[in-house]
Amino acid sequence: MLTSNLYVFLVFFVTYIQFSHPLCNNIEALYNITARVHLTRSEKGFNYNGNLYNLDQHEVIDVTQGNVTDLCEGIVKKFPKLQVLSLINVNISKIQPNAFLDVPKLRVLSLSVNNLTEIENGCFNNIPRLEILYLSGNNIHTIGNTAFQNFHHLKKVHLDRNQLTRLEANIFSGSPNLHLLDLRFNLLTIVDKNNFPHLQPTFKGPITFLLESNQIDDVDPSTFEFNNPVKLHLQKNKLSTISNLFHGLRDYSTLNLDENLLSCLPDDVLDNIKTTNKNISIKQNPITCDCLKNIENSLGDGEELFGVGVLEYSSMFQCFGQISF
């Protein structure tokens, strides 16, 4: 009787430990690191070698050497003054939920050039002031649908040079200050209308989307229907039409479609283009010279200025030009 009760208790206890605290096999990973550190942002930096937790009065910590395979729950804890933290190229392959605790001033976090494959929900919990996040140069293929939600100060997210094939719906809802999203050099094939519908910017200027060098062949025209103009960089993708995309963008947007698969500008765009204030670049597409002649005829001799937009174009077939309208 007693032994069986003890057994039940033990099973319960072990299960409790496993499920309430994710395992961490490198809890000492930050006891011995090399870093460049600044006590305050304006003060000169110096090199540091030793225990990261002794730097709890510093504002800037740039870890340059270490082996931090797993950013365990609570591993970056109690840095009340820390504003900028870099953990670049230190072999991180996993971030556990709640890895960061008590970092009330952390604004800039860089985890570039590591071995991350997945960004789980909760990875960036407890970083209330986060403004700029670098995750460039990992192997990220999956991002949890709420991992980036509700960051009121988040301005720039760098996810370039990863393995993303798609984005979750509403990935940035509740992050109304997002100015720049860098997704260059991934494996995206479509930009879906569900990606950003709840992006409700509280600022007036443009939002920049860097999507160049993906495999995109389709962009849902309603994707960018918030009130701000966008700077949409879609160079080096696989787009063969501009039509819907052009009509979906707000005034004063810019659209770069250099090095795609456009064969001509459709008539509905040509008709509209004279009065638009959007800037469009379609350089180095397989546009025929006949098509370009047609564009030039349709848009006049370049001396008549109708709007304030600019169309820049050239073709892979050695015809080129620029028209202001």
Ligand X SMILES: *[C@@H]1O[C@H](CO)[C@@H](O)[C@H](O)[C@H]1NC(C)=O
The C-alpha atoms of residue 86 and residue 63 are separated, in whole angstroms, by: 6
In whole angstroms, the minimum distance from the beta carbon of 159 to ligand X comes to 17
Instruction: Report the Cα 313 to chain-centroid distance in Å.
Output: 28
Q: Is 169 in the site for ligand X (CB under 6 A)?
A: no
Q: Is 26 in the site for ligand X (CB under 6 A)?
A: yes
Q: Is 93 in the site for ligand X (CB under 6 A)?
A: yes
Q: Which of 15, 54, 67, 275 binds ligand X (CB under 6 A)?
A: 67
Q: Is 98 in the site for ligand X (CB under 6 A)?
A: no
In whole angstroms, the minimum distance from the beta carbon of 200 to ligand X comes to 21
Question: CB 185: neighbour CB atoms within 10 A?
Answer: 18
Q: Which one, 69 or 294, has the nearer CB to ligand X?
A: 69
In whole angstroms, the minimum distance from the beta carbon of 150 to ligand X comes to 30
Q: Which of 32, 40, 163, 297 binds ligand X (CB under 6 A)?
A: 32
Q: Kindly tell me the burial class for residue 165, based on how many C-beta atoms sit within 10 Å of its own C-beta (0-12, 13-18, 19 or more).
A: middle
Q: Which one, 6 or 305, has the nearer CB to ligand X?
A: 305
Q: Is 306 in the site for ligand X (CB under 6 A)?
A: no
Rounded to a whole number of angstroms, the distance between the first and last alpha carbons of the chain is 90
Q: Which one, 56 or 312, has the nearer CB to ligand X?
A: 312
Q: Which one, 64 or 177, has the nearer CB to ligand X?
A: 64
Instruction: Look up residue 266 and give its amino acid.
Output: P
Q: Is 115 in the site for ligand X (CB under 6 A)?
A: yes
Applying CB under 6 A, the span of 2-10, 112-120, 255-263, 284-292 interacting with ligand X comes to 112-120
Q: Give 169-172's long-range contacts (Cβ < 8 A, gap of 24+).
A: 169/145, 169/194, 169/195, 169/197, 170/145, 170/194, 170/195, 170/196, 170/197, 170/198, 171/143, 171/145, 171/147, 171/195, 171/196, 172/148, 172/196, 172/198, 172/199
Binding to ligand X in span 245-284, by CB under 6 A: 252, 254, 279
Applying CB under 6 A, the span of 86-94, 119-127, 146-154, 160-168 interacting with ligand X comes to 86-94
Applying CB under 6 A, the span of 64-72, 79-87, 179-187, 295-303 interacting with ligand X comes to 64-72
With a CB cutoff of 8 Å and minimum separation 6, the contacts of 87 are 63, 66, 68, 71, 110, 111, 114
Q: Which of 310, 317, 319, 321 binds ligand X (CB under 6 A)?
A: 310
220: nearest Cα among 252, 255, 196: 196
Applying CB under 6 A, the span of 75-83, 108-116, 176-184, 232-240 interacting with ligand X comes to 108-116
Residues that bind ligand X (CB under 6 A): 25-26, 32, 65, 67, 69, 89, 91, 93, 113-115, 252, 254, 279, 310
